Structure 1
Amino acid sequence: MTKHNLELSRRKVLAGLGGVGLASTGAGLGTTAFFSDTETFTNSQLVAGELDMLVDWEEHYADWSDDENDDRTDDFGGDETDLDGDGDTDDDGTGNFDVLMTDGDPTTVPDGYTGLPTPMEPLIAVPDEFVDDFMMNTAIEAFPDEDDDGIQDTIYTRNQLSKMTSLSPEEIEEEFRSQFANVPDELDSDLRTESSRGDPLVYLEDVKPGDFGEVTFSLHLFNNPGYIWLDAEILENADNGMTEPEKKDDDESGTNANGNNPGELLDAIHTLVWHDDGDNVLEQSEIVYAPHDVDSSTSITLEGDERIVARGTLRDVLESAADGGIPLDADTRTSERDCYPNSTTRHVCFAWWLPVDHANELQTDSVGFDLGFYTEQCRHNDGSRLPAE
Structure 2
Amino acid sequence: MLAGLGAVGVASAGAGLGTTAYFSDDESFEGNTLTAGELDLKMDYRMTYRGGPGRLAELQENYPNATFVDEDMEPTDDDTGVYLLDQVPNRSEYPGAEDWVIGANGVYDPETGEGEGFQRDELIDAGDLEDALIRIGDVKPGDYGEVTFSTHLYDNPGYMWMGGMLTDENQNGYTEPEIEALEEMGDPTDDPDGDGQLADSIRAKIWYDDNCDNVHQGERDEESEGVDVMLSIDNSGSMGGGPGSKMEQAKAAALDFVENLGPNDRVGLVTFESTGQLRQGLTSTHSNVETYLQPEPAGISDAGRTMMDAGIDLAADELNDNGRSGVDEVIILLGDGEPNESDRAGSDHVQNAKDAATDAKNDGITVFTIGLGVSNGSTAQNTLIDMASSSNGTTLYYDSPTGTDLDDIYSQISSVILTGEEVIAEGTLREVMGALEEGIELDANVQTEDRVCFTNSVTRCFGFEWELPTTVGNEVQTDSVEFAIGFAAEQCRHNDGETNPYAIDAGGNTTDGGNVTQA
Which residue, 437, 445, 449 being the options, matches 1:335? 449
Residue 378 (1) aligns with residue 318 (2): no
Deviation for aligned residue 1:169: 3.9
Distance change >3 Å, CA 350–CA 150, structure 1 → 2: farther
Kept after mapping to 1: 8 A contact 2:171/2:192: no
- 1:214 alignment counterpart: 146
Deviation for aligned residue 1:139: 1.3
Residue 364 (1) aligns with residue 364 (2): no
Which residue, 43, 46, 69 being the options, matches 1:55? 43
Q: Deviations over 1:139-171 (max 9, x none)?
A: 111111144998566364797756xxxx73489
Which residue, 272, 285, 297 being the options, matches 2:205? 272
Which residue, 239, 243, 246 being the options, matches 2:171? 239
Q: Deviations over 1:173-212 (max 9, x none)?
A: 9973123112221x2xxxxxxxxxx331111101111110
C-alpha separation in 2, matches of 1:293 and 1:179: 22
What stretches of structure 2 of length at least 5 have no aligned partner?
A: 1-8, 10-22, 57-69, 77-81, 221-367, 371-395, 502-510, 515-519
Q: Which moved more, 1:370-379 or 1:293-302?
A: 293-302
Kept after mapping to 2: 8 A contact 1:53/1:219: yes
Distance change >3 Å, CA 318–CA 252, structure 1 → 2: farther
Give the alignment of 1:61-76 within 5 angstroms: 61-65=49-53
Q: Which moved more, 1:141-150 or 1:330-339?
A: 141-150
- 1:182 alignment counterpart: 125
Q: Deviations over 1:264-292 (max 9, x none)?
A: 11011111111111111122589899956
Give the alignment of 1:108-187 within 5 angstroms: 131-133=71-73, 137-147=82-92, 154=100, 156=103, 161=108, 168-169=111-112, 176-185=119-128, 187=129
C-alpha separation in 2, matches of 1:238 and 1:148: 41
- 1:46 alignment counterpart: 34
Aligned length: 280
Deviation for aligned residue 1:304: 3.8
C-alpha separation in 1, matches of 2:194 and 2:485: 24
Paired amino acid for 2:401: V
Q: Which moved more, 1:376-385 or 1:341-350?
A: 376-385
Q: Secondary structure in 1 aligned to 2:35?
A: coil
Kept after mapping to 2: 8 A contact 1:272/1:311: yes
Residue 200 (1) aligns with residue 163 (2): no
Q: Secondary structure in 2 aligned to 1:309?
A: strand
Identity among equivalent pairs (%): 35
Q: TM-score scaled to structure 1, two decimals?
A: 0.61
Distance change >3 Å, CA 209–CA 173, structure 1 → 2: closer
Kept after mapping to 2: 8 A contact 1:290/1:346: no
Give the alignment of 1:275-354 within 5 angstroms: 275-276=208-209, 277-284=211-218, 291=398, 294-296=401-403, 298=406, 299=409, 300=411, 301-302=414-415, 303-304=418-419, 307-323=422-438, 325-354=439-468
Give the alignment of 1:2-81 within 5 angstroms: 43-65=31-53
Distance change >3 Å, CA 168–CA 270, structure 1 → 2: same
C-alpha separation in 2, matches of 1:333 and 1:362: 40
Distance change >3 Å, CA 370–CA 157, structure 1 → 2: closer
Paired amino acid for 1:51: L
Kept after mapping to 2: 8 A contact 1:145/1:151: no
Q: Which moved more, 1:205-214 or 1:300-309?
A: 300-309
- 1:107 alignment counterpart: none
Deviation for aligned residue 1:354: 0.9
Paired amino acid for 1:380: H
Distance change >3 Å, CA 54–CA 42, structure 1 → 2: same
Kept after mapping to 1: 8 A contact 2:107/2:118: no
Deviation for aligned residue 1:349: 0.5
Q: Secondary structure in 1 aligned to 2:147?
A: strand
State the structure with bigger RCO (CA 8 A, min sep 6), 1 or 2. Answer: 2
Paired amino acid for 1:179: E
Paired amino acid for 1:213: G
C-alpha separation in 1, matches of 2:397 and 2:39: 18
C-alpha separation in 1, matches of 2:75 and 2:461: 16
Rg: which structure is higher? Answer: 1
Paired amino acid for 1:217: F
C-alpha separation in 2, matches of 1:159 and 1:150: 16
Distance change >3 Å, CA 151–CA 379, structure 1 → 2: same
Residue 355 (1) aligns with residue 452 (2): no
Q: Secondary structure in 2 aligned to 1:315?
A: helix
Kept after mapping to 2: 8 A contact 1:227/1:375: yes
Q: TM-score scaled to structure 2, two decimals?
A: 0.47
Deviation for aligned residue 1:135: 8.7
C-alpha separation in 2, matches of 1:157 and 1:305: 22
> Which has the larger strand fraction?
2
Deviation for aligned residue 1:133: 4.7
